[in-house]
Amino acid sequence: MQFEYTPYILPLLLAGVSSVWVAYYARSHRSVLGASALTFLALAAGIWTIGYALEIAGADLETKVLWSKVQYVGVTTVPLLWLIFCYNYFNQNRQLPQRVIVALGIVPLITFLLVLTTESHGWIWSEYHVSRTGDFSGLKVTHGFWFNIFWVYSQLLVLAGIYFILRLISHKHGLYRGQIVALLGAAAVPLVGNLLYIFHLTPVPDLDPTSFGFAVAAVFMAWGIFRFQLMNLVPLARDTLVDAMEAGMIVIDAQRRVADINRAALTMIGRTIGQVIHQPAAEVLSRWPHLIKKYASVIEALDEIAIGEGEQQRWFELGLSPLRNNDGTVIGRLITLRDITEQRRMREQSQIQNKYLSILHEITLDLLNRRELNDLLQAIANHAADLLNAPYGEIMLKEGDELVVYSFTQNQNYLSGDRVGRDTAKLAWQAHDTGQPAVLDDYSAWSDHRAIYDQVHLTAVADFPVMVEGKCVAVIGMGRSEPGQVFTPEEVQTGILFSRLVGLVLDSANLYASAMREVAERKMTEFLLQESETRYRQIVENADELISRTTVEGVITYVNPTSLWLFGMKKTADILGRNYLEFVIPKWRAKVRRFYLRQFLSVEPKTYLEFPVLTADGHERWLGQNVQIIREANQIVGFQAVARDITAIKRAQEALSLARDQAQEASHFKGDLLARVSHELRTPLAGVLGYAELLRDQAFGPLSTDQMQAVETIAESSEYLSTVISDLMDQAQIEAKKLVLHFGECSPSELLQHLEEMMAVLAQKRGLTLRTILEPDVPGRVESDEQRLRQILINLVANAIKFTKQGEVRVRIFRPDPTHWAMQVSDTGVGVPEEAQATIFEPFQKVKSALTRDNRGIGLGLSITKQLIDLMDGQIVLTSQVGKGSTFLVTLPIHKTGR
Amino acid sequence: MAKPLILIIEDDPKLAIIYQVTLQQIGFDTALDPDGNQYNAILSRVHPVLIILDLHMPYASGIDILKQIRCDQQLMDIPVIVATADLVLAKSLKDQADEVLLKPVSVERLRKTVLRLYPGGM
């Protein structure tokens, strides 16, 4: 392989290197659509060019043929790659399908294979030889038939690529034109060179200028790349973004012509692209001269502008910003237009609503301050009219089956006292019944209109129901008389809000009214109280009783007229300030004083005392006086007395009591005698017993055994005598019916305990066991006379001990039935013979039988026991067997019976 | 320290002696009003811890004395034992007196009662 230098190879090599550089650049931007195709295209062109340079530089035929064949790698692929690139880059972001590429690649592939084997068939080159012209030597070939087929095929592919570029150029403008021009230039130069070569029009014979074309094309490419950023901004991206934008966009160049405009902007200004591109902005926007005037010299702005009139009017946000080139000089302006009609409408609506709300707020405060119903209703009518810009306002309250006009704006005086039933004010009743506002655009033309309103010729009217707790309590009516001024939905909405507010206010006014009523009621109570005080005073003044008050010390602070009259005084001043004792008969004073002193000291709330007093004229009169303590803050501050003149009664009583005393004296003589005898017996007995005990206790010195026995006997005998006296007294009292039981709460368990304390020692002395049993079902408390219960039990147990020589005495308390309890005393003693059992409970029974040492007593014990049990409404039953023992069963009610 | 003192109002000197001996045995001093008219004078000098009171006395009523004691703010807190032979009055005074003992009063009973009402003795 031999080469020789020729100057033609320099531009070729340059073009080749440029192509490779373009390939490299495109590859580094392969994310851009079409960049891969451009990479291969530039690479193929590079191979073509460099291959041709080496062919020219080849010194012999073999070298030239070899490199000529190498060129064909580029020759066969460039047209197809060109088409792929154009299609991908300019055709709506779509890629040429792979199967199409494969199909289109068949011819180039066959061509290349034929090139490699052309010596054998001559389809590409039928003849070839080295031809020299000056210092240029090329491979002179005569093309075979296939080459011509391939050539036509190649031109078709190139033209197809150009078609896609031209198709795009038809609706492209402004910025992207430069890119397209650059590409077309790059495509055209090699094409023209190829045509010159094919038709042998080159200045140097056999020199193929196509490759030189590639050198020029590389320059175009570089220009396109650097000047128009061919690889950085794909025209379609702009289409997609800018045209798809909802906002309108207009680019105005330095000459104030429209350089670019998107679809949205075209729609806004209502023109087509052909009518505006490259036209002066002033002309394009001639419909809005004020805009041109306003922004002619403004570079940057943000404003809201209205376009159109009336219903068609739309609002836009106008943005104006400068477009600068790399060195910062302004090369144009970008106008953006955003349709904000809807936002603006909503904003306005909310402003209106806010205005209404703030008015409502003020009204609320105003209404809440009005406490008088008529005043409040008048304010409601006025506010309603003001709020909805309706000159006529009224408010009707529901009263039974009628709506009654309570208040109205001053221009509707004819409504004064208007009451309407269902058949008259149908619109108001409709609002009442439905709970919804009733609105009419022209009231005077309505078939059911009321003549009363014809005076002002109402047109638009709206009636709003006022609801309180779900019930319509009032209707607010509003009216206008200007034709055409209907109530808008927004106004109706405001009216609804207002009527709700009125509902709340009326409700609270109602609460207030009821509070006021309560205050009035309280005042009434106070008045009644005063009145009742007056009444009581009258009662006191006119009472038959003597009513008075004193201090704690007894100084009189008040007397009623009756008192004055009784004491024969003229004025209250004659009594007030004096001590009450001054009016008491002198010999009674100490007693009366003591009596009330005691009441004061013992804080007895109420007492009654009868005593004689002295009147002014010296007469004695008897008073029966109730005295109550007056307390203030837990302290006694005085006495209040209500007294009655009992002089007459007292006289009668005295006479009566004399007779009664005499009778009583006789009847009580027996009882009194017994009591006195008892007392007189007991007193010396106390001395006997006391001294005997002191002696026994050796209080007066030691005693001998005999002396001790004697003293014991004295003590025992006197104790016995004491019980005999007690029994006699009881019996006497029972017979005189003077024995009174003192009922109270008694504990059966304590009763047994007391019994043991009293009797256990005695039983022990006699060598007996005293056993007590308390059954668990016996109540803890029974209602009885504890003292007498003890007496009964001790009597029975003492008897049992007395008549038992050996064994035990058993006391059992149990509950025979739910309403009774029982004491059972059993012994293992001698028993009671059957004939004696019948009379054993009669008094003095033992007296009849012989007194023995073992069996002493006057026989009152069992008799008294039975009588006590009878008084307690109980029963005593004896069961006995001679020699075996006796059982006394006492059954008593748990609760005191009515007797 | 002085022994606690018990005032005895009893017109029967025999019984008064029995009370005095019994009480002294259990560590009390005694003061005696022998007719029911001197207790005021005694009370102005001494402060008894307990009073034993007879009801029937020739020139005084034990009931009146009891009431006076109960109404006197200085005295109302002193426990009073009524010792009487009057069965009827004994019952009716149950609530006013701290204890009512029916004569003849057993010495043992008296001791127990006094020590119950004034545990500060012996």
Report pLDDT for A781: 92
CA distances from A804 to A497, A735, A808, A833, A886 (A): 106, 31, 8, 15, 10
Q: How confident is the model at residue A62 (pLDDT cuts 50, 70, 90)?
A: confident
More confidently predicted of A402 and B88: A402
With 0.80 as the threshold, say if the pTM is over it. no
Q: What is the dihedral of CA A499, A505, A511, A512, to 10 degrees?
A: -140
**Above 90 in pLDDT, residue A274?**
no
Put simply, the answer to whether A675 touches B86 (Cβ < 8 Å) is yes
Q: Which of B67, B87, B94 sits opposite A678 (nearest CB)?
A: B87
Query: What confidence tier does B122 reach under pLDDT thresholds 50, 70, 90?
Result: very low
Closest approach of B104 to chain A, Cα-based (Å) = 4
Dist CA A261 CA A245 (whole Å):
11
Residue A205: its pLDDT value, please? 66
Q: Which residue of A has its CA nearest to B69?
A: A598
Give the integer Cα–Cα distance in Å for A218 and B83.
151
Q: CA A82, CA B14: separation in Å to the nearest integer?
A: 161
Q: What is the pLDDT of residues A175-193, one digit of tens each?
A: 566 667 777 777 777 778 8
Nearest Cα residue to A138 out of A54, A45, A76, A12: A54
Of B88, B94, B106, the CB nearest to A693: B106
Residues of chain B numbered 47-76 and touching chain A (CB < 8 Å): 56, 67, 70-71, 73
> Mean pLDDT across chain A, nearest whole number?
81
Phi, psi of B84 (to 5 degrees): -145, 160
β-strand partners of A826: A810, A887
Query: Nearest CA to A509 among A370, A308, A382?
Result: A370
- Asked if A687 lies within 8 A of B71 by C-beta distance, the reply is no
CB atoms within 10 A of CB B24: 14
Q: Which of A316, A359, A371 is nearest to A495 (CA)?
A: A359
Residue in A601, A694, A718 closest to B71 by CB: A601
- Please name the residue of chain A whose CA is at the shortest distance from the CA of residue B11: A683
DSSP secondary-structure letter at A255?
T
**Sign of the dihedral defined by the CA atoms of residues A636, A642, A645, A647, in that order:** negative
Residue A644's pLDDT is 87
Q: Which of A604, A682, A717, A727 to mutate to test the interface with B (most CBs of B within 10 A)?
A: A682
Measure CA of the first residue to CA of the last residue in chain A; give whole Å.
Answer: 162
Does the beta-carbon distance from A682 to B102 stay under 8 Å?
Answer: yes
pLDDT at A228 over 70: no
Residue that wins the pLDDT comparison between B8 and A588: B8
Q: Which residues of B touch A699 (CB under 8 A)?
A: 21-22, 25
Nearest-Cα distance to chain A for B71, in Å, is 6
Ranges A12-26, A199-213, A796-810, B95-109: which has the least confidence: A199-213
CA distance to partner chain B, nearest, from residue A881 (Å): 37
Find the residue in B nearest to A676 (Cα): B86
- Here the tokens at position B24 are 């002294």
Higher pLDDT, A845 or B50: B50
CA distances to A561, A562, B74 from A570, rounded to whole Å, are 9, 11, 44
Q: Bridge partners of A439?
A: A462
B108–A contact, CB cutoff 8 A: yes
For residue range A88-123, what is the model confidence (pLDDT) as tens digits?
777 656 778 889 889 999 999 999 999 888 888 888
Q: What is the mean pLDDT of residues A443-461?
A: 84
Q: Is the pLDDT of residue B121 over 60?
A: no
Radius of gyration of chain A from Cα atoms? 70
Using only C-alpha atoms, what is the Rg of chain B?
13
CB A9 within 8 A of CB A57: yes
Calpha distance A146→A126 (Å, rounded): 10
Which residue of B24, B71, B96, B110 to mutate against A (max A Cβ within 10 Å)? B71
Between A391 and A263, where is the model more confident?
A391
Q: Where are the alpha helices (DSSP H) in A543-646?
A: 561-567, 586-601
Among A126-135, A526-535, A659-668, the range scoring the smallest mean pLDDT is: A659-668
Number of A–B residue contacts, CB under 8 Å: 75
CB-closest option in B15, B25, B106 to A687 = B15
pLDDT at A664: 64
DSSP reduced 3-state for A311: helix
Chain A, nearest residue to B19 by Cα: A690
What B71-74 contacts at long range (C-beta under 8 Å, 24+ apart), as own/partner pairs, is: B71/A597, B71/A598, B71/A601, B71/A602, B73/A601
With beta carbons less than 8 A apart as the criterion, state whether A547 and A627 touch: no
Mean pLDDT of A315-332: 77
Backbone angles phi, psi at A713, to 5 degrees: -60, -40
Asked if A685 and B88 come within 8 Å (Cβ–Cβ), the reply is no
Measure the CA–CA gap between A244 and A242, rounded to whole angstroms. 5
Reduced to 3 states, what is the DSSP secondary structure of residue A825?
A: strand
Do the Cβ atoms of B107 and A697 come within 8 Å? yes
